[in-house]
Amino acid sequence: MSTALSLHRSRKRKNSVMMALCVIAAGIGLAWLALILGALIYKGLAGVSPAVFTQMTPPPGDAGGLLNAIYGSIVMTVIGIIVGTPIGVLAGTYMAEYGRFSKLTTVVRFINDILLSAPSIIVGLFVYELLVRPMGHFSAIAGAVALSILVIPVVVRTTEDMLNLVPNALREAGTAIGAPRWVVIRSVAYRAALSGIVTGILLAIARISGETAPLLFTALNNQFWSSNLNAPMASLPVTIFQFALSPYEEWQQLAWTGALIITLTVLGLSIIARSLTGRREDR
């Protein structure tokens, strides 16, 4: 009797210890998020001023802003999205609609998942070999292409998943009134899956707007204002990288402010994307 009771007690005790450890683990995870965001806001806000958005990146030891870097980031992100999204949506459409059971789809899905988590610096090397070396110089186009390669797998994945959620009865109804396949896809399937596909695109924007590694040796960096797509272009992440590792205090402050801008952008996009799919689930 007493052994059974003590066994019971020891099991109880073990349970409490392990569960306490799990709570501590969750605490650690949340505390880390709070620490990073706290430091970012504290250090970043100190440098927020109108000059950040109106002046160019300064020479060492001078005050200035991040205007050309912000502009470059927006330009390359937009081009990357414009190039990558149609390809991703079309490929996802093939996998979910035309070739749902084909061998090609299985292979593409596997390869796409690998591309999705492949190191982004490898993509940078690829675009360097593909564009920068033949052209002989770094350019914003190369940077945008590198970003679009990162966009494609994200969009493919979400498009396929979301189209697979569209009930077949909807497609059959479309086909039954005589609409050809592509009209059914365009006017029925796309419309039903729209919020999910938009979520994928938002997530892709969130991913590439903070990417640094693929831009390091494709778009390089530029101290000055440049809207020439065939020339090196500044971007926020690369500027942060360069400024943070410099010994100049003004540059380090700008790096923190830039980091805050990127984080708020990315978090904002992720939250919007999440609320779009969240509404879907509630319905």
Partner 1 sequence: MTAVAEAATSSATRTREATVRRFAFTDMVFRGATRASAILVLVILGGVAISLVTGSWEALSKFGFSFLTTEAWNPVTENFGALAPIYGTVVTSAIAIIIAVPIGIGIAVFLTELCPRPLRRPIGIAVELLAGIPSIIYGIWGLFVFAPFLQTTIQPFIINIFHGIPGLSSLFAGPPYGIGLLTSSLILAIMVLPFITSITKDVFDTVPAVLKESAYGIGCTTWEVTRRVVIPYTRVGIMGGVMLGLGRALGETMAVTFVIGNAHRISASLFAPGTTISATIANEFTEADGELYTSSLVALGLILFIITLIILAIARYMLLRIDSRAGA
Residue of 66, 75, 79, 91 that binds partner 1 (CB under 8 A): 91
Q: For tokens 């620490």, what's the residue?
A: 35
Greatest CA separation for the chain: 84
For position 74 contacting partner 1 by CB under 8 A, the verdict is no
The CA distance from 209 to 262, in Å, is 7
- In the complex, minimum distance from the CB of residue 116 to partner 1, in angstroms, rounded to a whole number: 9
Nearer to partner 1 by C-beta: 40 or 51? Answer: 40
Residues 184-223 that bind partner 1 (CB under 8 A): 185, 206-207, 209-213, 216-217, 220
Residue of 47, 65, 80, 88 that binds partner 1 (CB under 8 A): 88
For position 45 contacting partner 1 by CB under 8 A, the verdict is no
Residue among 88, 84, 97 nearest 182 (CA): 97
Nearer to partner 1 by C-beta: 12 or 54? Answer: 12
Q: For tokens 């190039």, what's the residue?
A: 83
Nearer to partner 1 by C-beta: 33 or 194? Answer: 33
For position 229 contacting partner 1 by CB under 8 A, the verdict is no
The CA distance from 220 to 99, in Å, is 40
Residue of 6, 7, 9, 14 that binds partner 1 (CB under 8 A): 14
Residue of 70, 115, 202, 233 that binds partner 1 (CB under 8 A): 115
Do 262 and 240 contact (CB within 8 A), yes or no? yes
Q: Which stretch binds partner 1 (CB under 8 A): 50-58, 69-77, 165-173, 174-182?
A: 174-182
Alpha helices per DSSP H over the chain: 2-45, 50-54, 67-93, 103-117, 120-127, 133-135, 140-165, 168-176, 181-184, 190-209, 213-216, 236-244, 249-282
For position 28 contacting partner 1 by CB under 8 A, the verdict is yes
